[in-house]
Structure 1
């Protein structure tokens, strides 16, 4: 019998973004909400401790939109209102659905613009590291947000960049390249470093607009000139035209012979539906080749479908470890202990899914997934390991699978939100968290690989640099070599160039900074594209 999956359980499109450095804000690389204009005093008024129902305030706009929404084909819901309506709606909405509503000060909105007021509607409590607990509270123009989330794949060259320094002297290298992409056709390889963009000195040049336009083309068919330095020290002049690149989420699946036995390795870059069959093929290879250990390379995986992460968890751990256990449970604030306040659905745990899923119909099929039934897995990580990738780590830890992290601190995204439009602005405010079978989900600083774990989000493992001098999947590449070494020694390797520092982008120095898309924001765009694919836009009528 086919089992229908709940939308909320199926998607990590709702998995939000939290503290892992940087600030909050309105777009990639800039999460500080800008100031709004003055506000009108007309309409409903603030009264301390009294909250009007949000439904009575929503869509009453200071500048209502008119006509037909091109994305929905329906009339805009806006009605003539005022800035006070918009601010008091934000206040009531936050008081109702914000995960930490009881940590908000009830601030009189008078004297604040709408977006300035929204910036105040978040907790000021900090994590044990000193970072703000809510470090991802932002807004975006609704038309821009919908354009990005509904437009399919983004244009580019098929390059995953590694940003080491965004201000002079800047440093930017290629982390990996999508097969068949413009960068692949141009002969570029992992580790190549950018020297020039459209004739502008990348390292110290001042024309950051030209650099950003070249690195981040706005649409397909834009041609730009680059100069790279390869790992071997050769200068490479390349002209590339941007294209809509089809990603290959699963790459380099192989079995490596070691003194300890056969080890499966798979590079997994994105939790999208396309990855399901590729992961099945990889695990069938591992099973057929009798792999007894496994390395899952998630260092560039920013998230996606949460249910796919649960499938991957099952393929690692098997029936005995996962039967009847929770992969992830959504939790809202204490006003909604058993019901999703946005969808109205009863909260049910997402278990470890052991069947292939028909993603076109949202149903499990009768086809069993392959599994290695392991009690231990090695995971390669960087600051770009986000969201569903972190849920995979957390879900396995919740059923006592030994997870050993090799690499860097993950980005930290245990919280979630439903992007909600009001009067032409889409607001993102944290509304839920995801916890594992043990009820743990507080990793807002990210999971931290450490030889001597002391805190709940510390994970046994080693801080190891992302070695760009060798291809991914090469057993001599730094992180993979460290994982293989650990299997034999049970400890972090003491090898020059392998045990390295945390891979954080260097703080801004003097000079102009280029753009650096925040990995958490990039994950949000991907995940909300998936929500668009599988369900209605949150906050809109059925």
Structure 2
């Protein structure tokens, strides 16, 4: 189980060789399909405007995580441990208000609320799809900043709640319930377009013949493309995000657009492969490495190290992060170091330069810290400690080509920003990234883990204000007609063309859609996944 901060703990400065137990993410097919508004972290808060009648501000906590009212759980809270059910919902909400006032990055922008309002006092048996009491989730949402980015997007579209036991199971087993496919919502509004982005080898999806580019048309008898009713959307969510093992029916369209078929998929535990398609591409001007990296989870580290060893000697690297929502920040730092080597990442004294500077709210400036470019392995063991500390292999590159889309988020964006901060040229090919220069340490109270944004990251040059995402060097739609790692796939082909010519053009005329395949999305596509997967995590002490 992940070791969360205790009530009296302060947030630790992350150390390179003493990480805690891994916090794993779930590779589900269409996790939480929010067809009315897909994307992470919940909808707009409907908090009561500040003014008379609102609750007074909570008392200032002397510790980062408040002690008062901690683990004082309502007897009806279905997630609370049996031995802690001697409190009340009012105490749980008081603790949550104090927690946000203390640790939340935008704690000076928390709207005025009344904790006794009906929507914050629903029966605790009413729960979210993640099993969290709806009353607590509603209250948490109401405490989030209403601030908007320049484009009008919510600044905090990332904070969320999750059941602590479910979180612990994900982090300790490395598996999740699903079909073994990742689904992209390439068109969010009717007529919707839901496309398989990748498939785990040997998974139910793979055995049923689903491949990249397969489109989901119907789920359990409901038209995914056009359905708008609440009941229909609930059926779609239940099929795409199964909560228990079972059989679900899907009608799919094959990638060439010529064949529709109906099949059954059995939801079961599936293990994610976070690093894939490691290969060396021979070109007339030298070998180019290609690496698909989908998630900064604990199991990825040894795979990344092995991949970099295999790629040593290449003249350039194409790093495919288009579906990588983030995860462990220390791993992002490790990979950045392995790409660049010691030259740009160390100063004249041999000390590491800053990969990312972490900034907290004004109450906790004493916790501001710098994450270095970690040059040693860790490899988390079952107890959450490093099992193998050794010098990391390096490529020693002065530039890197990174494939991005709107699902490139958080720790993945930190790789791009961190390398740019020390003078490494990073060309991005694809779409604008998700825009999350933020992170957190999840905190449990009464069986609910609260993932509230607590810090912002900046690179060595102070850059980190990309709430609307990092724009691509070359804008290219995702190419579902070709396999990832195929030299004809448009994003990879454009990266190779940019390398050869210095212009945003395809390296090969074969990198065009196949006959019958629909063109790329007209809007930014995004993986249907829980906001768990769009995060940067620090290592709790």
TM-score higher than 0.5 = yes
Tell which deviates more after alignment, 467-476 or 358-367: 358-367
Q: 1:270 aligns with which of 292, 295, 310?
A: 295
Partner of 2:99: 93
1:352 aligns with 2:352: no
Partner SS for 2:365:
coil
Q: How does 1:314-463 map to 2 (within 5 A)?
A: 314-323=337-346, 324-339=352-367, 348-360=369-381, 362-363=385-386, 365-422=388-445, 425-449=448-472, 461-463=473-475
Structure 1 residues 50 and 112: CA distance shift in structure 2, 3 A: farther
Q: How does 1:56-455 map to 2 (within 5 A)?
A: 56-59=68-71, 63-64=74-75, 75-76=83-84, 78-80=86-88, 83=90, 85-104=91-110, 114=120, 118-140=140-162, 152-204=174-226, 207-231=232-256, 233-287=258-312, 290-323=313-346, 324-339=352-367, 348-360=369-381, 362-363=385-386, 365-422=388-445, 425-449=448-472
Q: 1:477 aligns with which of 489, 503, 518?
A: 489
Instruction: Please report how far the alpha carbon of residue 182 of structure 1 lies from its aligned counterpart in structure 2 after TM superposition.
Output: 1.5
1:520 aligns with 2:531: yes
Inter-partner Cα distance in structure 2 for 1:240 and 1:106? 46
Instruction: Please report how far the alpha carbon of residue 106 of structure 1 lies from its aligned counterpart in structure 2 after TM superposition.
Output: 5.9
Structure 1 residues 55 and 397: CA distance shift in structure 2, 3 A: same
Structure 1 residues 448 and 117: CA distance shift in structure 2, 3 A: same
Instruction: Please report how far the alpha carbon of residue 355 of structure 1 lies from its aligned counterpart in structure 2 after TM superposition.
Output: 2.1
8 A contact 1:464–1:502 mirrored in 2 = no
Gaps of 5+ in 2: 1-14, 26-33, 121-135, 347-351, 514-518
8 A contact 2:326–2:534 mirrored in 1 = yes
Partner of 1:465: 477
TM-score by length of 2: 0.76
8 A contact 1:378–1:403 mirrored in 2 = yes
Instruction: Please report how far the alpha carbon of residue 219 of structure 1 lies from its aligned counterpart in structure 2 after TM superposition.
Output: 2.7
Instruction: Please report how far the alpha carbon of residue 427 of structure 1 lies from its aligned counterpart in structure 2 after TM superposition.
Output: 3.6
CA deviations on 1:87-119 (whole Å, 9 max, x unpaired) are 544443333222232344666767575456544
Instruction: Please report how far the alpha carbon of residue 474 of structure 1 lies from its aligned counterpart in structure 2 after TM superposition.
Output: 0.9
Instruction: Please report how far the alpha carbon of residue 143 of structure 1 lies from its aligned counterpart in structure 2 after TM superposition.
Output: 6.3
Instruction: Please report how far the alpha carbon of residue 380 of structure 1 lies from its aligned counterpart in structure 2 after TM superposition.
Output: 0.4
Tell which deviates more after alignment, 378-387 or 51-60: 51-60
Inter-partner Cα distance in structure 1 for 2:68 and 2:337? 45
8 A contact 2:406–2:525 mirrored in 1 = no
1:504 aligns with 2:506: no
Inter-partner Cα distance in structure 1 for 2:252 and 2:157? 36
Tell which deviates more after alignment, 497-506 or 164-173: 497-506
Q: CA RMSD in A?
A: 3.9
Q: How does 1:6-21 map to 2 (within 5 A)?
A: 6-7=18-19
Inter-partner Cα distance in structure 1 for 2:83 and 2:177? 30
Instruction: Please report how far the alpha carbon of residue 64 of structure 1 lies from its aligned counterpart in structure 2 after TM superposition.
Output: 4.0
CA deviations on 1:214-245 (whole Å, 9 max, x unpaired) are 32222334353433333262334433222211
Inter-partner Cα distance in structure 2 for 1:279 and 1:50? 46
Structure 1 residues 400 and 88: CA distance shift in structure 2, 3 A: same
CA deviations on 1:460-494 (whole Å, 9 max, x unpaired) are x1110001111111111110011011112212228
Tell which deviates more after alignment, 149-158 or 238-247: 149-158
Inter-partner Cα distance in structure 1 for 2:76 and 2:374? 43
Instruction: Please report how far the alpha carbon of residue 141 of structure 1 lies from its aligned counterpart in structure 2 after TM superposition.
Output: 5.9
Count the aligned residue pairs: 478
Inter-partner Cα distance in structure 1 for 2:109 and 2:45? 20
TM-score by length of 1: 0.76
Instruction: Please report how far the alpha carbon of residue 378 of structure 1 lies from its aligned counterpart in structure 2 after TM superposition.
Output: 0.5
8 A contact 1:194–1:228 mirrored in 2 = yes
Structure 1 residues 350 and 216: CA distance shift in structure 2, 3 A: same
Instruction: Please report how far the alpha carbon of residue 203 of structure 1 lies from its aligned counterpart in structure 2 after TM superposition.
Output: 2.9
Instruction: Please report how far the alpha carbon of residue 135 of structure 1 lies from its aligned counterpart in structure 2 after TM superposition.
Output: 2.9
Inter-partner Cα distance in structure 2 for 1:110 and 1:68? 21
Gaps of 5+ in 1: 14-21, 340-346, 450-460, 507-515, 537-542
8 A contact 1:309–1:388 mirrored in 2 = yes
Inter-partner Cα distance in structure 2 for 1:220 and 1:418? 30
Structure 1 residues 189 and 133: CA distance shift in structure 2, 3 A: closer
Inter-partner Cα distance in structure 2 for 1:423 and 1:24? 30
